[in-house]
Amino acid sequence: MGNAAQRVTGLGDAARLRILLDVIKAMSAETDFDRLLQLIMEETTRAMEADRSTLFLVDHQRGELWSRVALGLQHQEIRFKSHLGIAGHVATTGELLNIPDAYEDPRFNQEVDRQTGYRTRSILCMPVRNKVGTIVGVLQVLNKRSGVFTAADQELLDALASQAAIALENAKLYEDLRRAYGELKQLDAMKGNFLANISHELRTPLAPIIGYVEMLLSGRPGPLTDRQRSHLTVVEQAVQRLQGLIEDLLAFVQMDQGELAIQARAFAIGPLLEERGRLIMPRATEKGLMVEFGVPPELPDVRVDPKQIARALMLMLDNAVKFTPQGGRITLSAKAHVAPDDAPPGWQHGYVEVSLSDTGIGIPADKIPRIFDKFYQVDASATRSYGGTGLGLALVKQIMDAHGTRVDVESTPGVGSTFRVRLPIAEAHA
């Protein structure tokens, strides 16, 4: 590589290696496509001790070579048919060309020089190939400052071209990713707005339905027969269920858009657990499930948003009832624990751990991390028989996140599941 004469006039091997390393580092750091093109051309010119370099890219669809060159702050695009000129020859044959005097070579297009007033002397032109060997571009270097391009120059340009190919591919991937991410974010925002609007719209007509059903049931507009009363009661329950779903959807959307703030205060968790347990009793007994309580009478107060914690408990109890077959058992229990030594602020007084166990269908281990994703259901095909939207646990997670805590899940398919939540104990007041 390189002889003594060359070392005197040109860069030594060590210097070339250093330049190559610098260029590789710079190239791999650049993810903006246009800036990368510019960087490759500038660095190649510097490393090759030449006058100028151009990286032409192959546009396979249009059968053209193109490049963007900086003119001051502007970028100008050049395009020509991919078989024309020296670059075209290299792009079609895949052969490197080292031309000491351009005007001696019939493939050289002198017209370009006439138009630009530039005088091309020597040319070194190298194909740029991607991983699978397809020619994706041509790297062309003009006018070696002293003498002509040597074998060592060819080797250096070869190395630069391979690096350029990798960097270009990365930048392209990065750009695609960035675009896809932008589109996804926009879609997500649209979905959020849609959900917010739809839940508001659904809520509005429900209010008069509930109002009138309740009025009819009160007997004020006139006496009801037993049959009418029992039919209206079914309507009332269904509407209340619908209202609950819409409230959850609205809460979810508000949380998702950061509109629902947690309002934490010291609060007795024991009575809340019992009240929630009582609320699911009718559905549990109807399904032939046993409900057990393991809540000690003297639980300390916790510092939480009671409304949101009540909602989260209801969503988890709802799942326990839904996913436990007849004859099963649901256990709701709670226990106070002292704070560990490294308790974070707000948790120095210890915590109450609330556990909800069921003997239901269970969740496969690899699906557990996903059940808190919005709209996710382990068996979407079974949705019709179980019902639900897949939003419940996503809302539970949002609520727990907002409280600085999380839900731990243990589950064995066919045996049952346990959901555990830790809530911070409030400072005991005198």
Where do contacts with ligand ADP occur on this chain (CB under 6 A)?
315, 319-320, 323, 358, 360-363, 371, 376-379, 388-394, 417
Q: Which span sits near Mg ion by CB under 5 A: 82-90, 154-162, 276-284, 387-395?
A: 387-395
Residue 57 contact partner, candidates ligand ADP, Mg ion, none, CB within 5 to 8 A by sort of partner: none
Residue nearest to ligand ADP (CB): 388
For position 392 contacting Mg ion by CB under 5 A, the verdict is yes
In the complex, the smallest distance separating the C-beta of residue 395 from ligand ADP, rounded to whole angstroms, is 8
Residue 284 contact partner, candidates Mg ion, ligand ADP, none, CB within 5 to 8 A by sort of partner: none
For position 360 contacting Mg ion by CB under 5 A, the verdict is no
First to last CA, the chain: 86
- Cα angle at 166 between 161 and 168, to 5 degrees? 90
Q: Which two tokens stand for residue 252?
A: 């979810």
Q: Residue 316's beta-bridge partner residues?
A: none
Residues 117-176 that bind Mg ion (CB under 5 A): none
AA letter at 137: G
Cα-based distances in Å from 165 to 36, 40, 95, 144, 169: 11, 10, 16, 23, 6
On the CB side of 66, CA atoms within 13 Å amount to: 12
Which residues have C-beta within 8 Å of that of residue 398, sequence separation ≥ 6? 252, 255, 256
Q: What is the largest CA-CA distance in the chain?
A: 115
19 vs 393, beta carbon nearer Mg ion:
393
Cβ atoms of residues 415 and 359 within 8 Å: yes
For position 319 contacting Mg ion by CB under 5 A, the verdict is yes
Residue 363 contact partner, candidates ligand ADP, Mg ion, none, CB within 5 to 8 A by sort of partner: ligand ADP
Residue 317 contact partner, candidates ligand ADP, Mg ion, none, CB within 5 to 8 A by sort of partner: none
58 vs 330, beta carbon nearer ligand ADP:
330
Cβ atoms of residues 91 and 58 within 8 Å: yes
Residue 162 contact partner, candidates Mg ion, ligand ADP, none, CB within 5 to 8 A by sort of partner: none
In the complex, the smallest distance separating the C-beta of residue 324 from ligand ADP, rounded to whole angstroms, is 7
124 vs 378, beta carbon nearer ligand ADP:
378
Cβ atoms of residues 27 and 173 within 8 Å: no
CA gap 180, 189 in Å, rounded: 14
15 vs 380, beta carbon nearer ligand ADP:
380
Burial grade of 324 (CB within 10 A; 0-12, 13-18, 19 or more): buried
CA gap 344, 409 in Å, rounded: 22
In the complex, the smallest distance separating the C-beta of residue 258 from ligand ADP, rounded to whole angstroms, is 20
CA gap 282, 305 in Å, rounded: 26
360 vs 424, beta carbon nearer ligand ADP:
360
155 vs 401, beta carbon nearer ligand ADP:
401
In the complex, the smallest distance separating the C-beta of residue 376 from ligand ADP, rounded to whole angstroms, is 6
Residue 424 contact partner, candidates ligand ADP, Mg ion, none, CB within 5 to 8 A by sort of partner: none
227 vs 384, beta carbon nearer ligand ADP:
384
Q: Which two tokens stand for residue 320?
A: 């326990």
Interacting residues toward Mg ion by CB under 5 A: 319, 388, 392
